[in-house]
Chain A
Amino acid sequence: MQIINLIKRKIFKQQAGIISVEAPAASFSIKNLLGGKNVGDLVFQNVLRFFASILLLIVVLMVIQMVNQSMPSIKQFGWNFIKNNTWDPVKEEYSAWPFIFGTLYSSLLALLIALPLSLGVSIFLSEFAPRWLEKIVSLLVELLAAVPSIVYGLFGIFVLAPWLRTTIEPALGNKFGFLPLFTGPPYGLGMFAAVIILVVMILPIITSISRDVMKAIPVTQREAAYALGATKWEVVKIILGGAKSGIVGATLLGLGRAVGETMAVTMVIGNTPQISYSLFEPGHTMASVIANEFSEATSTLHVSSLIEISLLLFIITVILNAAARLIVWGVTKKYKGRK
């Protein structure tokens, strides 16, 4: 009733020339009556808000469940769960340090090898390669990222590991056996195979993001450097300076991928919970122990310990990914924000 009155009043004002007739459509719709909002928009907005909140809800529920389920193990072991070295389902003694070590050691080593490689490739793609070659190589790099990890795992078991066992590891052991990295008998399956597989898996992520960040740096920057008499290498240095934070972000994303990688690593790492710096020794990671043991875990404490490991893994990957996103977001904003 009120609404009708309002409309009537508006019509009256219009006729009396109080409201300018130049914008009749705007002053006459329901939009104005709802405080400037369209009904359809309002509904649409709230539906979307609902969808978005589902996502948040899933994450929150997952965390609550994980904390809840790992309570028995948290109560039993406390901080020792992270500090101790024993993982013995028979004696019901559980601690995660060998897995945390295995995860971080394999991931960081993989990063150490993958980062220079990816930087080289992305600098080549964004600064040196002719367009057609850039397209082909970029496509190949992105294909590498799309290969399912089980395929890498199979390749690791049937091709990489035997090759490492018969050729590479004996040779390295002979020549560099004095280094702690290359001690012990050559098993093939072990940290070395896991690191190599991880390198192949994180290479495309770091490469394609770094290339994007470098290409996001405007041509005018390159021209400024060239016009100052910079050599090609110096131009690249200036571009790297601008892309620095984006590259850090890409690296963290790659690290996140390596930390969370399950299937391929489980297949080649040897699955032995021990702490050894030698690449030839088998190891274990947080993801691989969960994949290996969840089906055999019968006691409450065993299950709970596995879930606590997954909680730790979750926390590590969330921190890495959040940091990476923030940094990448920061660098793109800087260039798009100003003209």
Chain B
Amino acid sequence: MHNVELLNITETADSNISNKKAENKKEKIKVDKLNAFFGNVKALNNISLSFSENTVTAIIGPSGCGKSTLLRCINRMHEEVSGTYEGIISLDDENIKDNDPVWLRRKIGMIFQKPNPFPTMSIMDNVTAGLRLNGIRNRSKLKEIAEQSLRQAFLWDEVKDILKQPGIALSGGQQQRLCIARTLAVSPEVILMDEPASALDPLSTNKIEELIFELKKSYTVIIVTHNMQQAARVSDYTAFMYLGELVEYNKTANIFTNPSNKRTEEYVTGRFG
């Protein structure tokens, strides 16, 4: 039973890859036969999929299914919590393990579930934190990039007069957009979002979703979400994961209207999970 299902999964995944090639979008990140572990516990089982440039891909699934772990493997944050993985993840056809994780994370930015601005830094310093890590000291350049990033994150108008105030003085939704601006400032190519709106009110959530839609134009976005309406609204592709396995990966419209796997159907219609 299990094996049969696994076969199905690989089939759907394969067919999707060919689908996307037809669309002629470059595959930015490829995940090949990924197995991830926490100590001896296997968290991800044989995951293979790829994420295309300038698209938003949502990863959905019940709690503990490995969504976040998959995300954290991609920018090697998984290894910071002494996790390990087998298989190959590549960025622009280059194995991410061939490079320094520090370099990788400057190309693959990440937004977390809980807004986490640096509490001792002002709004301005928060946005430019990554740049300063990169050794940029020129004040006018920092200011220019900060304004640009804050504008991109739809936050500039709200904070332009209070840039010297601490980042944690902002509301939760503003803090999250500040974190997004901070990530954009180092000009990454891929943005990973781990339930970026789950701690926010509906209005702030709305703003974040609009923002994701804009970000798609210049970045590859991968978003983990618990909220299926959100996945349906913002994403082009959706991956459904269950118990560490990739059950189905397809265009979002297909996943929500015509899922090929029964589990997917049950999940998106709210019958389990």
Interface residues of chain A, those whose CB is within 8 Å of chain B, are 218, 220-231, 234, 238, 241-242, 244, 334-335, 338
Contact = CB atoms under 8 A, between A and B. Distances in A.
Contact of B116 (A221, A234, A334): A221
Interface of B: 75, 77, 80, 102-106, 109-110, 112, 114, 116-121, 129-130, 133-134, 168, 179, 182-183, 186
Nearest to B134: A229
- 5 closest A-B pairs by beta carbon, nearest first, are A229-B106, A227-B110, A220-B116, A228-B130, A229-B105
A238 B186 CA distance: 17
Contacts of B109: 227-228
A327 to B, nearest CB: 14
B114 A227 contact: no
Nearest to A338: B168
Contact of A335 (B110, B114, B119): B119
Given A227-B75, A227-B77, A228-B105, A238 B168 contact: no
Nearest to B185: A228
A228 to B, nearest CB: 4
B119 A226 contact: no
Given A227-B77, A227-B183, A220 B110 contact: no
A231 B102 contact: yes
Given A226-B80, A230-B130, 13 more contacts: A220-B116, A223-B110, A223-B116, A224-B116, A224-B117, A226-B77, A227-B110, A229-B133, A230-B102, A231-B102, A241-B120, A242-B119, A242-B120
Contacts of A226: 77, 80, 105
15 contacts: A221-B116, A223-B77, A223-B112, A223-B116, A224-B116, A224-B179, A226-B80, A227-B77, A227-B105, A227-B110, A228-B105, A229-B186, A234-B133, A238-B118, A338-B119
A280 B112 CA distance: 57
Interface of A is mostly: helix
Contacts of A238: 118, 129
Contacts, number: 67
Contacts of A220: 112, 114, 116
Nearest to A244: B120
Contacts of A221: 116, 118-119
Contacts of B116: 218, 220-221, 223-224
A165 to B, nearest CB: 47
Contacts of A230: 102, 130, 133
Contacts of B134: 229
B112 A227 contact: yes
Contact of B112 (A224, A234, A334, A338): A224
A230 B103 CA distance: 9
Contacts of B77: 223, 226-227
Contacts of B80: 222-223, 226
Contacts of B183: 227-228
A244 to B, nearest CB: 7
Nearest to B182: A228
A242 B118 contact: yes
Nearest to A222: B80
B103 to A, nearest CB: 7
Given A223-B77, A228-B133, A228-B186, A334 B102 contact: no
B170 to A, nearest CB: 11
A29 B102 CA distance: 65
A234 B109 CA distance: 17
Contacts of B102: 229-231
A251 to B, nearest CB: 18
Contacts of A222: 80
A255 B168 CA distance: 32
A50 B80 CA distance: 52
B2 to A, nearest CB: 34
B222 to A, nearest CB: 13
Contacts of B104: 229
Nearest to A334: B119
A191 to B, nearest CB: 38
Contacts of B182: 224, 228
Q: Which of B104, B109, B130 has the most CB of A within 10 A?
A: B130
A338 B171 CA distance: 11
Contacts of A234: 133
A87 B54 CA distance: 82
A240 to B, nearest CB: 10
B74 to A, nearest CB: 11
Nearest to B82: A130
A47 to B, nearest CB: 40
Nearest to A231: B102
A231 B116 CA distance: 18
B112 A229 contact: no
A334 B121 CA distance: 13
Nearest to A337: B168
Given A220-B112, A224-B112, A338-B168, A229 B118 contact: no
Nearest to A234: B133
Given A223-B116, A224-B116, A224-B179, A229 B168 contact: no
A228 B130 CA distance: 6
Contacts of B119: 221, 242, 334-335, 338
A218 B168 CA distance: 14
A215 B176 CA distance: 23
A141 to B, nearest CB: 24
A338 B104 CA distance: 31
Contacts of A334: 119
Given A229-B133, A230-B102, A224 B75 contact: no
